Structure formats: structure tokens, C-alpha cells
């Protein structure tokens, strides 16, 4: 029966194999020649059924079912596509590097203890390659010589045969012992590499160091020859990168894992097994802790979600679906996997945008870099748009809240000039956002309608009134002021009637003041006619 991870175990393949089984309704007498030939054929097939590769060898291209052939073709094309994408992705990675965080240099090494070796492994590690091979030859020669010496002491009538037999037996035993001891190289080399990593940053290790360690033990490619032990090194580093509890991901974990995997020389399939094993540990941890404590259960679920996200970023979305069967192994749905990726990607993008102030400053270069970073996170436009809108709204809300506080002051502490300056800053910010529409999802003019400002509408009206009164202080209601008031009304989320009532009340009061001054100064009497004088005041 093929392994679960064998891609050949498709339903079409199983159906093809099942077609060789004799059915209960199609049995012929045992003495039938056709029955004998059929039984012999079935037995031959059964001998090969334990090996998926042998079964695939029996199935020529002509005899494969179309569904099986299509599945194999799709799998082959996917592997080629992902390989090409990784090659082409280097230039893209360089473009988004400015947005992606860099790994810290002060992290504690996950290899904090020394791996113990047995006596044979210590001897192998202590000997250079030439000395080790010489010792192997000496041991075999010593065994053969010992057998020859013992055979020489036998009686003369059996001496010749005894010498040959004992030389072969003892020499062969020595050779077998050397062969068994030599296999210890494949366990000693990874342990020596582990010990060399003790207290070091795994990212500081180079592929040359790993190859040199393998050459010391006569191993050309440790990633393939010692795949299990090398995957264990990768597994330890992976577990150290998954944030514990509610700590967020930092964004550099996937790149660090990819670099360390390449340094160790292990393939994607072996690395994927480490990710699945890490998931099993987190799954067991959640079961052991139980779900009685909601906070602990939430932390456990968040840890698993962060592992899913880091794994997806490490292998790429398409290859992760192929290598990491979360749904089959952990009984999680595709929606849960998508939610884990979306939540963590959103958190990283929000952190990046906040640190760069791309939205707050409407910086075109920073926004373009954030767009590249968003693409590298595989985050959809809806989620990214919500983040951009939240950050822009928060920026405007901070200015408006400060303006409301300042507008409530009395006496000299109430700086009307600063209030108007803040209002114009908000309006100018909205103009910038309108000009940047299309550069990033969600970038556009901000309105405070809804949310916390629903309960602050009275304060917003007061700010609106203050800005209006300062604008008509010189008894002039300009077109620019009217345009700004219309934009400010949209920002504050005010209705047309509310804004018009404030404008009417303020302009009426301003008209009365202007009329009083005109009467006192005599300018109304000096006018060409009282009607024209009043008309001039109204047109202000």
C-alpha cells in the first residue's frame, strides 16, 4: 500500500489497481486454464503492490487512465513552475526587502546544549578521513591476520583449510564490524554540526561550513545522506521562530527558514515534514492543556495559526497546498487556513504601514513599497484596504480629537488660529489621499461618520462653527471658504441641514455685526443709496 505522502495514490490509480482484483461474481472453476492464468497474474500484481514505484513502472503511458496521467502531468508542471518562480523571485524579493523586517541579531540560539556522542562516534569525529580509512584497513588486516594465525596452530591435516576458513571468517567479521562502525559517520556528522552551532545564530552558518563538516566525515551531501538528522536541526530552528502565546509574527521568519534550509541542503519535502511535526506538537500541547481556560486555548490556537502562516510564506501558497496537507492531518478546513494567513498577513502589513508612515504622510514611494510587500504576503485587496482606511481614519481622528480638546478651552488657552490650522491640515490631507487613489487599496478621502464620533457630533459642530466664524471674521464669505466648509462637512459626517443651519446662524450674526458697524461708521449713510449699501453687506 503506498504511503500517504505518495502522490501516485490517487483515486484513479487505486481504481486501476482494483481492476486487477477478481470479482466474486466472475469466478471460474479452479481447473479452468483461464482461472489459473488469472490467479498467477493477480499474485504477481500483489507482490508489487507494496511498492508504489514498481506499480507505476508496470503502468505504461498507454495503460494509464487519463485522470491518472493528467494528475501526474499537473504535479510535474507544478513542481517546475514553483522552481522557476523561486528563481525569478530573487529580484522580486530584493524589491520588497525594504518593507520586510530584518532578522534581529540578539536572539538566543536555539542550539543551547551539546549533543552527546557514543564512543564510536567520538572516535570517528576525532580522526581525519585518511586516518579513519587507514584504521579501517588496519582492522580488517588485523582480523585476517588473526584468523590466519589461529589456523596455523591447527593440526597439519586440517591446517590449510582451517587457515583459509578462519582468515575469511575473522577477516569478514572485522570487515562487517568496520562497515557497522562506518555507518556511525551519518549520525556523528549531524551531531558535530549541531555542536558547532551551539550558541550561534543559525543564519550565521554558511553552506561552506556545512559542506566542510560533511567532508570531514566523508559525506558529500549531508542534506541527502543524513536527511533525518539534518531535518531535526531545521525542526529545532523552526520551533524557535514560532512566536509563543499572543506574540505576533515579525515577518522575517519565512526568509530565515528558507535561508537555513538552503544552508543545510535539505529538500522541500523533508522540510515540510518538519513543519507538520511542529504542528503535531502544538496540537498535542493544546490537547494536554485542555480548553477549560479560554485564554490558554486562544494562545494555543494563535500559535498554530502562526505556524500555518510561516509555513505558507516559507514554501509559497501553491506549493504549501501540495506539501502541507493541514486539512487531512489536523482536520482543519480551508477557511481556517485562509483565516490564519489573512490575520497574520494583515498584522504584518499594518505594522509595516505604521512604521513607515506611508499612509499618514501619503508618501508615494513608501506606498509603492507597501504594495509590493502586500503582494509578497498574498493579502487580498479587501483586507489591505481595511488597514489603509483604518490608518488614515486614525490619523485624521487624532488631529480632530486634539482640535476638539483645544476648542473646549476658554480664554487665552483657546487658540483659534491653531484650530483653523488643524482643520485645514485635515482638508489638505484628504486632498492628498484623493490624489493617491489607486496606488494602494483603500486609499481615499476620509470621513469620520460612524464609530466613536457619533457621540461627539456636538463637539464636531462646535469646531465647524469656530472655523466658519474665523473665516467670516472680516465680514466676507468667500467661495474658497464655502468649498472648505463643504469638504469639512463630509469629513465630520454632518448632514446638509445641520451644516446649513450653522452657516445660516453664523452668517446672520456676522451680517448684524457688519450692519451695526456700517451704521456707526456712517458708511451706510455715505453710500449711493441705502439699498445698495445693504446689498454690499449681504454680498460681503
Q: Tell me the pLDDT tens digit for each residue of 380-398.
A: 999 999 999 999 999 999 9
Q: Which helix (H) or strand (E) holds 421?
A: helix 416-435
Residue among 313, 109, 306 nearest 203 (CA): 109
Question: According to the model, what pLDDT value does residue 475 have?
Answer: 66
Residues 66, 191 within the same domain:
no
Residues 374, 299 within the same domain:
no
Question: According to the model, what pLDDT value does residue 526 have?
Answer: 57
Question: Which residues have a Cβ under 8 Å from the Cβ of 516 and sit 6 or more positions away?
Answer: none
Q: Across all residues in the chain, what is the average pLDDT? A: 76
160: its cell numbers = 590449510
How far is it, in rounded angstroms, from Cα 404 to Cα 460? 7
Summarize the confidence of residues 246-262 as an average pLDDT.
94
Question: According to the model, what pLDDT value does residue 236 have?
Answer: 95
CB atoms near residue 391 (< 10 Å): 20
Answer yes or no: is 97 within a domain. Answer: no
Statement: residue 297 has pLDDT above 70: yes
List pLDDT tens digits, range 48-61.
444 444 334 433 33
Range of the domain at 299: 119-314
Q: Identify the top-confidence range among 14-23, 147-156, 259-268, 530-539.
A: 259-268
531: its cell numbers = 439699498
Question: Which residues have a Cβ under 8 Å from the Cβ of 261 and sit 6 or more positions away?
Answer: 234, 268, 271, 314
88: confidence class by pLDDT, cuts 50, 70, 90: very low
Q: pTM score, two decimals?
A: 0.71
Summarize the confidence of residues 243-255 as an average pLDDT.
93
Summarize the confidence of residues 495-507 as an average pLDDT.
90
Residues 264, 355 within the same domain:
no
Question: According to the model, what pLDDT value does residue 360 have?
Answer: 94
Residues 390, 458 within the same domain:
yes
Is 154 strand, coil or helix? coil
8: confidence class by pLDDT, cuts 50, 70, 90: very low
> Could you give the number of structural domains in the chain?
3
Q: Yes or no: say if 184 and 114 are a contact pair by the CB < 8 Å rule.
A: no
Check residue 24 and report its DSSP letter: G
Q: Could you give the C-alpha distances from 537 to 320, 465, 469, 504, 533, in angstroms and in order?
A: 74, 21, 16, 15, 6
Residues 137, 66 within the same domain:
no
Residues 365, 412 within the same domain:
yes
Residues 167, 288 within the same domain:
yes
Residues 173, 65 within the same domain:
no
Question: According to the model, what pLDDT value does residue 46 have?
Answer: 45
Answer yes or no: is 60 within a domain. Answer: yes
Statement: residue 11 has pLDDT above 60: no
No. of H helices and E strands in the chain?
24, 0
How far is it, in rounded angstroms, from Cα 316 to Cα 341? 12
Statement: residue 539 has pLDDT above 70: no
CA 492 to chain CA centroid, nearest Å = 38
Question: Which residues have a Cβ under 8 Å from the Cβ of 217 and sit 6 or more positions away?
Answer: 124, 125, 129, 185, 186, 188, 189, 192
Query: Taking CA 374 as the corner, what is the angle to CA 373 and CA 380, rounded to the nearest 5 degrees?
Result: 165
- Percentage of the chain lying above the pLDDT 70 cut: 64
Statement: residue 419 has pLDDT above 70: yes
Question: According to the model, what pLDDT value does residue 181 have?
Answer: 58
Residues 307, 359 within the same domain:
no
Amino acid at each position: 500500500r503506498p504511503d500517504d505522502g505518495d502522490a501516485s495514490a490517487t483515486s484513479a490509480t487505486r481504481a486501476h489497481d482494483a481492476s486487477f482484483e477478481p470479482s466474486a461474481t466472475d469466478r471460474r472453476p479452479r481447473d479452468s486454464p483461464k482461472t489459473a492464468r488469472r490467479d498467477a497474474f493477480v499474485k504477481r500484481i500483489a507482490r508489487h503492490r507494496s511498492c508504489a514505484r514498481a506499480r507505476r513502472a508496470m503502468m505504461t503511458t498507454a495503460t494509464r487512465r487519463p485522470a491518472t496521467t493528467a494528475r501526474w502531468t499537473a504535479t510535474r508542471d507544478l513542481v517546475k513552475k514553483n522552481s522557476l518562480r523561486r528563481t525569478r523571485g530573487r529580484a522580486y524579493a530584493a524589491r520588497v526587502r525594504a518593507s520586510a523586517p530584518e532578522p534581529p541579531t540578539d536572539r538566543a540560539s536555539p542550539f543551547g546544549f551539546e549533543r552527546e556522542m557514543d564512543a564510536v562516534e567520538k572516535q570517528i569525529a576525532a580522526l581525519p578521513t585518511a586516518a579513519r580509512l587507514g584504521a579501517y584497513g588496519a582492522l580488517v588486516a588485523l582480523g585476517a591476520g588473526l584468523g590466519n594465525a589461529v589456523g596455523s596452530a591447527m593440526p597439519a591435516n586440517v591446517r590449510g583449510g582451517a587457515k583459509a576458513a578462519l582468515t575469511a571468517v575473522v577477516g569478514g567479521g572485522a570487515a562487517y564490524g568496520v562497515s557497522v562502525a562506518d555507518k556511525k559517520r551519518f549520525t556523528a556528522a549531524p551531531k558535530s554540526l549541531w555542536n558547532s552551532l551551539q550558541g550561534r545564530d543559525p543564519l550565521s552558518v554558511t553552506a561552506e561550513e556545512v559542506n566542510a563538516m560533511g567532508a570531514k566525515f566523508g559525506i558529500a551531501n549531508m542534506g541527502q545522506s543524513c536527511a533525518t538528522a539534518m531535518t531535526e536541526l531545521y525542526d529545532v530552528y523552526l520551533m524557535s521562530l514560532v512566536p509563543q502565546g499572543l506574540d505576533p509574527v515579525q515577518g522575517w521568519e519565512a526568509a530565515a527558514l528558507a535561508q537555513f534550509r538552503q544552508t543545510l541542503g535539505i529538500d522541500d519535502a523533508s522540510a515540510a515534514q518538519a513543519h507538520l511535526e511542529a504542528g503535531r506538537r502544538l496540537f498535542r500541547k493544546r490537547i494536554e492543556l485542555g480548553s477549560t481556560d479560554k485564554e490558554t486555548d486562544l494562545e494555543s490556537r494563535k500559535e498554530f495559526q502562526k505556524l500555518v502562516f510561516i509555513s505558507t510564506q516559507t514554501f509559497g501558497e501553491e506549493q504549501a497546498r501540495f506539501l502541507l496537507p493541514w486539512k487531512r492531518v489536523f482536520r482543519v478546513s480551508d477557511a481556517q487556513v485562509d483565516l490564519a494567513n489573512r490575520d497574520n498577513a494583515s498584522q504584518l502589513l499594518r505594522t509595516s504601514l505604521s512604521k513607515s508612515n506611508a499612509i499618514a504622510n501619503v508618501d508615494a514611494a513608501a506606498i509603492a513599497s507597501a504594495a509590493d510587500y502586500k503582494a509578497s504576503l498574498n493579502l487580498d485587496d479587501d483586507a489591505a484596504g481595511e488597514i489603509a482606511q483604518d490608518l488614515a481614519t486614525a490619523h485624521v481622528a487624532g488631529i480632530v480629537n486634539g482640535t476638539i480638546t483645544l476648542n473646549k478651552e476658554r480664554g487665552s488657552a483657546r487658540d483659534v488660529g491653531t484650530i483653523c490650522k488643524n482643520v485645514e491640515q485635515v482638508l489638505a490631507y484628504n486632498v492628498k489621499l484623493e490624489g493617491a487613489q489607486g496606488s494602494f487599496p483603500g486609499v481615499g478621502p476620509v470621513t469620520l461618520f460612524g464609530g466613536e464620533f457619533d457621540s461627539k457630533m456636538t463637539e464636531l459642530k462646535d469646531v465647524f462653527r469656530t472655523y466658519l466664524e474665523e473665516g467670516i471674521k472680516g465680514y466676507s464669505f468667500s467661495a474658497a471658504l464655502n468649498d472648505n466648509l463643504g469638504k469639512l462637512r463630509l469629513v465630520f459626517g454632518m448632514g446638509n441641514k445641520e451644516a446649513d443651519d450653522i452657516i445660516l446662524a453664523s452668517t446672520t450674526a456676522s451680517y448684524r455685526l457688519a450692519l451695526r458697524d456700517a451704521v456707526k461708521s456712517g458708511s451706510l449713510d455715505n453710500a449711493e443709496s441705502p439699498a445698495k449699501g445693504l446689498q454690499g453687506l449681504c454680498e460681503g
